[in-house]
Structures are given as C-alpha cells and as structure tokens.
C-alpha cells in the first residue's frame, strides 16, 4: 500500500516562520497614516497591535523569524498537521494529476486560524497585555483566538458579525465555552456600532464594521490590544508554518508541486501554504503556479483595483496598498463567510501585481459541488471557504486530464465544515444560488478610493 498521510515527527516541526518580503523583487508599498498619509513606522502601530506583531508587520529584512518556544509548545498540541494524498478524489476525477492536501482541519478548532491566534496572543501576554479584542465573521478566527486567549490567560472580547451571530450560534458557543465574551456587531458598545445602528437599525453587520468596533474597544480599554485574523503581513507570516511543513512532507512523498492552491479571503491561508514554495520561485526561479481561489461574489484579486484603502469601513486602520473592492463594498451573503472581505493584504497584492500569483473566482454552486465531491471521496466535509480551493483543484485536475499531463497539485484544506452543515443542507436542498456581481457595482464601490502614492 502506498503511503497516504505524511506526518512530521515533533522535532521536525519548523522552528521559524518564513518572511517572504526580503525575497520580493518589488517590496510592498508602505502602510500610510490615515491622517498624515505618511508611511507608518512600527511604533505608530503599537497602540493597536502588540509591539512584536507591529515590528513583524513592517519587517522587510529578516527572512526567518523564530517561533517562540511557548508558541511552538502550543503548536505541538495539533501540529504537524497531515499532508494527505487524495487518492479518492484523483480516482473520481479520473485524472493523471497527483493531488495532495495539507489538512489544517485537524486543529482543535477545526481550521488553520489557530496558527496566528497563538502567536498574537503570546506576544500580547509577553508584553503585559491583559485584554484583547477581535472581530469574527464565520467564527473560525474568533474560535481560534478564544482558544489562544485561554491558553495564555488573556481576557477576550469578540465582535461577531450579527448575521453569523444569529445563523451560527454554535460557533458562538465554542467561543463562550473557551471563556470569551461575544458581542453581536454592530453593537451599542462602540461609537462605530452606535452610528451604524442609528442609521440602519436592521443592519446585519459586516467584517468591516466588526473590525471598527474591535479596534475602538481596544483603543479605549487599558492594557488592551487588537488582533486580526488575516490580511496583515504578520498574520500571513505566522501561517507559513503550513507551507514549511508541507514542503518537508512533499519531500517525504518524493514530489514537488507544479501548482499550489488556496482559497482566498484576506490571504493568510493562501499565503501560508504558498509562500514557502514561492521562495524557491523568487530565489531560484523554480516554475510553480500559485492559484488564489476567491468567491465570484467577492472577487478583489480578479476584478478589484490596486489602490490604497482602509482595512475597515469606519477608516480606523492605516491605509493599506491592496487589491480591493472598496472598504464600503458589501459582499453578497454567501456561506463562505471567511471569504467575504473587501481587500487583499499588501504583500499578496504586490506579488499579484508582479505576476507571481494567479487568481480565479469560483461561483458558490461550483464550490459546494466540489466540496461535496471531496466529502464523498476523501471523507472530510470541507469548510465552505475551503470548497473554493477544491473547486480550483478540480478545474486543474480536469485540465491535466484533458492535456494528458501528469501534474502535482497541492492545496490547503483550511478547515472542516462540520459546524457549517446548514450551508450543505441548503445546497443539497437546491436552495443556494450564484450571485452575479455587475461591473457597475464594483466601479461605484472603488470610485472614491485614494490613489496609490
């Protein structure tokens, strides 16, 4: 029998994260202060983030950042995650392609989010912070941070997008079981929330609003910092543990991927799996394709503009150079809540602009069709977000079949869907639709963005 699952011994788990910036031919454009429009230094981020996260965010020189021993100790509760050869899916697609996936769904909260949550919580703790805040959409990030806050003894307040708060009570319960405070956003607990509720009493919330509320609470609470689950460079940095492990595991399998695929929300899962492989492209010219699979209803990489934009709708964040649909863009209410974000991180945006990253947009029905096929052939019900990556894999595997070409495809299974079964329910009942996003909507949404400096 051929080996299916490749697992690293504990002493082989990477001891440093990979920072891709030193290897980039064009560095990402600087973050700008929203008031002065001047490039920001790490110190200016300290009021919001932990100092170490702030320094990592702007670190353009150190290729390897040591993973603190306390974080590695936590990683060992679930890492290494398995690299799996998807024989069942290959057979169903009758493809010559070899398909591998990195199974981040085995983490105790069911997704890759924990990799950065633990690091961010640790740095806060180490710097004497007692309280942290964050936002969560589908709840994956909130659940991860609840776990991490508990692990390092921090108090946590989570602003959860109202529609998810109501539709996904179980994710809320997970956070509460770990001891976090969970508040539906928009809420009356912040100025940003009150303003929106006053204007739109029935507003269902968005990640942008929840971010605004979480930052505002952090700024107004003593000894409190804000944390973010994606988009920013330090978050992607922490997620490179995925690709670094996968690289060693692919070596165990005796293969190297031609194509690396991840679903795309803010970029942390995609960057996490792909950057460690991309370093060989940047440094040694290795030819590998990197495909970011985003939802057709929130297509920042395929149809957005590359501009300076805010990370949230109230404009509390630095101005970020990003492929964006505009910070006021309201994505359709698709089930892949983790992908409903208007922009891409600055490093990924630059790499996309420079041609290193391809992007595809996946209609909702195609994503669930692929996810259901994966469940039935590989036995794991994927998170709706991960279904987008799988749909892209299916396209590539069928193209390989068409071309009669052996290809080695690696993708990141960012999470399982066991807490998202309502979405599958609706898909199986034929109640889901594809959302059309007219060009005019995007044009209107990006009309007033600040030009790139």
- By CB under 8 A, residue 333 contacts a second copy: no
Near a second copy by CB under 8 A: residue from 5, 200, 283, 405: 5
Near a second copy by CB under 8 A: residue from 347, 357, 381, 387: 381
Beta bridge partners of 159: 135, 183
Structure tokens at 85: 């050869």
- By CB under 8 A, residue 320 contacts a second copy: no
For residues 111 and 102, give the distance between their C-alpha atoms in angstroms, rounded to a whole number.
11
The CA–CA distances, whole Å, from 395 to 362, 370, 424 equal 10, 10, 21
Q: Report yes or no: 164 and 171 within 8 Å, Cβ to Cβ.
A: yes
- By CB under 8 A, residue 3 contacts a second copy: yes
Near a second copy by CB under 8 A: residue from 49, 310, 323, 424: 424
For residues 261 and 281, give the distance between their C-alpha atoms in angstroms, rounded to a whole number.
15
Near a second copy by CB under 8 A: residue from 43, 73, 166, 251: 73
- By CB under 8 A, residue 7 contacts a second copy: yes
Stretch of 143-151, 211-219, 259-267, 306-314 contacting a second copy, by CB under 8 A: 143-151
- By CB under 8 A, residue 10 contacts a second copy: yes
Stretch of 33-41, 144-152, 203-211, 214-222 contacting a second copy, by CB under 8 A: 144-152
CB-based burial label for 452 (10 Å; 0-12, 13-18, 19+): exposed
Q: Give SS3 for 260.
A: strand
Stretch of 42-50, 173-181, 304-312, 356-364 contacting a second copy, by CB under 8 A: 173-181
Query: Least distance to a second copy from the beta carbon of 208, Å?
Result: 27
For residues 35 and 48, give the distance between their C-alpha atoms in angstroms, rounded to a whole number.
16
- By CB under 8 A, residue 4 contacts a second copy: yes
Nearest residue (CB) to a second copy, 47 versus 108: 108
For residues 113 and 235, give the distance between their C-alpha atoms in angstroms, rounded to a whole number.
9
For residues 246 and 258, give the distance between their C-alpha atoms in angstroms, rounded to a whole number.
14
Query: Least distance to a second copy from the beta carbon of 417, Å?
Result: 8
Q: Report yes or no: 278 and 351 within 8 Å, Cβ to Cβ.
A: yes
Using only the alpha carbons of the chain, give its radius of gyration.
20
The label of the residue with tokens 């396209």 reads 395
Structure tokens at 5: 């699952």
- By CB under 8 A, residue 354 contacts a second copy: no
- The 113-142 site mask, x for binding a second copy (CB under 8 A), equals ------------------------------
- By CB under 8 A, residue 72 contacts a second copy: yes
Strands 83-85 and 5-6: antiparallel
- By CB under 8 A, residue 152 contacts a second copy: no
Question: Which positions lie near a second copy, rule CB under 8 A?
Answer: 1, 3-5, 7, 10, 69, 72-73, 76-77, 84, 88, 106, 108-110, 147, 150-151, 169-171, 173-174, 176-179, 372, 375-376, 378-381, 416, 418-419, 421-422, 424-425, 428
């Amino acid at each position: 029998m051929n080996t299916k699952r490749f697992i690293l011994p504990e002493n082989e788990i990477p001891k440093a994260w990979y920072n891709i910036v030193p290897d980039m031919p064009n560095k990402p454009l600087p973050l700008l202060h929203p008031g002065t429009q001047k490039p920001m230094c790490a110190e200016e981020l300290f009021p919001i983030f932990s100092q170490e996260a702030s320094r990592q965010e702007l670190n353009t020189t150190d290729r390897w950042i040591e993973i603190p021993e306390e974080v590695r100790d936590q990683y060992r509760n679930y890492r290494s995650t398995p690299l799996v050869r998807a024989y069942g899916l290959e057979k169903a697609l009758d493809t010559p392609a070899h398909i591998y996936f990195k199974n981040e769904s085995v983490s105790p909260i069911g997704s890759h989010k924990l990799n950065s949550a633990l690091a961010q919580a640790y740095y806060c703790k180490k710097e004497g912070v007692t309280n942290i805040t964050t936002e969560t959409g589908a709840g994956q990030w909130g659940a991860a941070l609840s776990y991490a806050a508990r692990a390092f003894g921090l108090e946590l307040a989570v602003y959860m997008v109202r529609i998810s708060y109501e539709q996904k009570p179980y994710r809320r319960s997970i956070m509460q079981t770990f001891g976090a405070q969970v508040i539906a956003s928009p809420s009356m607990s912040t100025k940003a929330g009150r303003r929106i509720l006053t204007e739109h009493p029935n507003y269902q919330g968005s990640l942008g609003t929840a971010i605004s509320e979480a930052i505002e609470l952090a700024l107004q609470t003593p000894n409190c910092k804000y944390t973010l689950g994606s988009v920013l460079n330090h978050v992607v940095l922490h997620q490179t543990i995925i690709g670094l492990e996968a690289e060693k595991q692919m070596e165990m399998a005796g293969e190297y991927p031609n194509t690396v695929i991840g679903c795309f929300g803010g970029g942390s899962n995609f960057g996490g799996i792909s950057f460690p492989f991309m370093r060989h492209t940047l440094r040694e010219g290795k030819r590998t394709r990197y495909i970011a699979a985003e939802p057709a209803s929130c297509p920042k990489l395929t149809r957005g503009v590359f501009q300076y934009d805010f990370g949230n709708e109230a404009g509390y964040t630095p101005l970020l150079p990003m492929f964006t649909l505009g910070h006021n863009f309201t994505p359709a209410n698709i089930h892949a809540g983790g992908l409903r974000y208007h922009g891409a991180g600055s490093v990924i945006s630059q790499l996309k602009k420079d041609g290193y990253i391809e992007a595809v947009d996946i209609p909702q029905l195609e994503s669930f069709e692929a996810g259901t096929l994966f469940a039935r052939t590989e036995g794991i019900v994927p998170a709706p977000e991960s279904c987008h990556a799988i749909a892209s894999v299916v396209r590539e595997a069928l193209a390989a079949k068409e071309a009669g070409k052996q290809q080695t495809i690696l993708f990141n299974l960012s999470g399982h869907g066991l807490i998202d079964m309502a979405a599958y329910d609706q898909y199986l009942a034929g109640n889901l639709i594809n959302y059309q996003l007219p060009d005019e909507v995007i044009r209107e949404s990006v009309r007033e963005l600040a030009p790139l400096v």
